[in-house]
Structure 1
Amino acid sequence: MQIELAQVAIVDGALAINLATVLEKISQRCIGTQLMVFPETVFSGFPDADNVAVLAQAVSGEMIAQVCAAARQYEIAVALGFAEVSDDQFFNASVLIDAAGEIVLHHRKVHLWSADTGIFSPGDCFTTAQWNGRQIGLLICFDIEFPESARALASLGAELIIVSDGLMHPHGVVHQRALTARSMENQVFSILVNRCETDAAGESFAGGSMVINPYGDIVLQANNGASTLTAQLDFSAVHESRKEYCYLDQRQVKLAMEEVDIGNQHTQAQRIKKS
């Protein structure tokens, strides 16, 4: 499977500019690419309490619809993060859109970073879906610093975890360490795409988008500038990594989760059991 990592600079608050960047990247996809991945909150950058109501988009709204149309036109799947509004609540969300322009997976960030608190509500599900013959899961940024997030996806059969990220300097190494561990301990592929460059407030984003194999090896990594990288994923590596031992089969402690029916026959979900 050929994938592309679209590590882009985001102009905070500039919806039209950022959407144009996403659509341009999709139109410029490499021949043979089946999936293109973008960073966290790619349309808006990080909103604050004063502007989130203006910047957040409905999953059924016009901006997502334009990306769906581009995915369909260029016959490519797209994963991206965005600020979502739903029933007067705001979520830090991501979607996986297939090459037919259909949303096959929708995740809301469960673990909110301190800057998210008071702006976004937390999600309460980890979900996977079948896409292109593979079981896929989505996570967002801080989610990956909690082993339970990736383990929940792996327990639902995930072979690939896609992470939309928005990590700043000097913390870039944190997600490199975290995601190599998540990939190794669940024996899955992981893709992380971060934003890059410096925003208007002077915050410098770490870039470093990466692909990690089921052994926890980084097989491709970007620098901290705007770039588009291409990688090939051979999913036989998932099976090979589990032949001698499989962490999922040998675990002795199970997560306190419950199965959830979210009304989509293609999607499986587990909800956190609140204590």
Structure 2
Amino acid sequence: MKLGKIKVAAVQMGCILGDREANLRKAETLMGEAIKAGAKLVVLPELFNTGYRVEERDVELAETIPGPTVEWMQVLARRHNLYLVAAILEHGLTKGIVYDTAVIVGPDGLLGTYRKTHLWDVESIRFTKGEEFPVFQTEFGTIGLQICYEVGFPEGARVLTLKGADIILYPSAFGKAREYAWKIATRSRALENGAYVIAANRTGTEKEVTEFGGGSCIVNPWGEVIDEASQEDEVIVSEIDLQEVIDQRRRLPYLRDMNKSLFAKEYR
């Protein structure tokens, strides 16, 4: 693995509730902009294929992994020689169990999954919590996955960083009512870990109640926003330089100076 420069993209989009085929078509169209711009890592929002407020249909709309959506992701990743990340509803092995799961695929197929570990409000009724924090090796750097609400929990991003993550991805369906938290947290997770953060959020309103905040962003290791989306359906693309990860961690040595043994005692 050689650290270097790579173009990355976040897809911001509204979704049609319960219509997987329509959402996949829309996502593929938007992704076309990222591909045309040369992006080799593309992040889609949380539950982009089904919409978020499908709680009465969670079991019906959940998929196995691999399944229809992941197979669609694999085809695109292979065709365009890129890495693609999204979060979807996943069937557990036990009937009736559903996870909110981020999936990462590359040109050679499925790299792995991450099941959301911190659930927002009534998600605790809808979904089962994940219990692991895997990282994924690519030719340009190590990737860690979190989902939406978890941007407000620094522990997950820190664990991924200590496992080697250079880039932390957040497929999200984050609400507009807490837009202020989104802005602070995305910048903070990048700065405190010396990592790039790519956060792809939803837009639109579902069931006339749930309004999503947009604000998809690419943040560098210094906590500076490189690019930020401002329209309902928009793709942002930026070139990132993984050498910046090393430079920031040397000049702002939070990771070196962290007293790991102290926190190990506190969190046992």
TM-score by length of 2: 0.90
Per the alignment, residue 64 of structure 1 pairs with 70
1:190 and 2:172 correspond: no
Q: Which segment drifts farther, 13-22 or 34-43?
A: 13-22
Matched with 1:154 is: 161
What's the CA shift string for 1:250-274, capped at 9, x where partnerless?
11145559xxxxxxxxxxxxxxx8x
- Separation in 2, partners of 1:25, 1:226: 8
CA contact 1:130–1:136 (8 Å) conserved in 2: yes
Post-superposition offset of 1:69: 1.0
CA-to-partner distance for each residue in 1:209-239, whole Å, 9 max, x for gaps? 0011111111211114210111010111111
Q: Is the 8 A contact 1:48 1:119 kept in 2?
A: no
Gaps of 5+ in 1: 258-272
Mean Cα displacement is larger for which, 63-72 or 197-206? Answer: 197-206
Among candidates 25, 31, 37, match of residue 20 of structure 1: 25
The one-letter amino acid paired with 2:58 is V
Residue 134 (structure 2) aligns with: 127
Between Structure 1 and Structure 2, the one with more helix by share is 2
CA distance in 2, matches of 1:92, 1:85: 9
Structure 1 residues 47 and 203: CA distance shift in structure 2, 3 A: closer
Distance 1:215 1:49 in 2: 38
The share of aligned pairs that are identical, in percent, is: 24
**Aligned partners of 1:67, 1:60: CA distance in 2, in Å?**
10
Letter paired with 1:3: V
Q: Which amino acid aligns with 2:27?
A: V
Cα distance in 2 between the residues matched to 1:180 and 1:202: 28
Q: How many pairs are equivalent?
A: 258
Is the Cα contact below 8 Å between 1:205 and 1:224 reproduced in 2?
no
Alignment partners' CA distance in 2, 1:148 and 1:141: 14
Give structure 2 stretches of 5+ with no counterpart.
1-5
Q: 1:51 to 1:71 in 2, by over 3 A?
A: same
RMSD between aligned residues: 1.8
**Partner residue of 2:11?**
6
Q: Cα deviations across residues 27-52 of structure 1 (Å, max 9, x unaligned)?
A: 44224210111000111112554311
Q: TM-score when scaled to structure 1?
A: 0.88
Aligned-partner SS, 2:134:
strand
Alpha-carbon distance in structure 1 between the residues aligned to 2:53 and 2:65 = 17
The correspondence for 1:93, drawn from 101, 117, 141, is 101
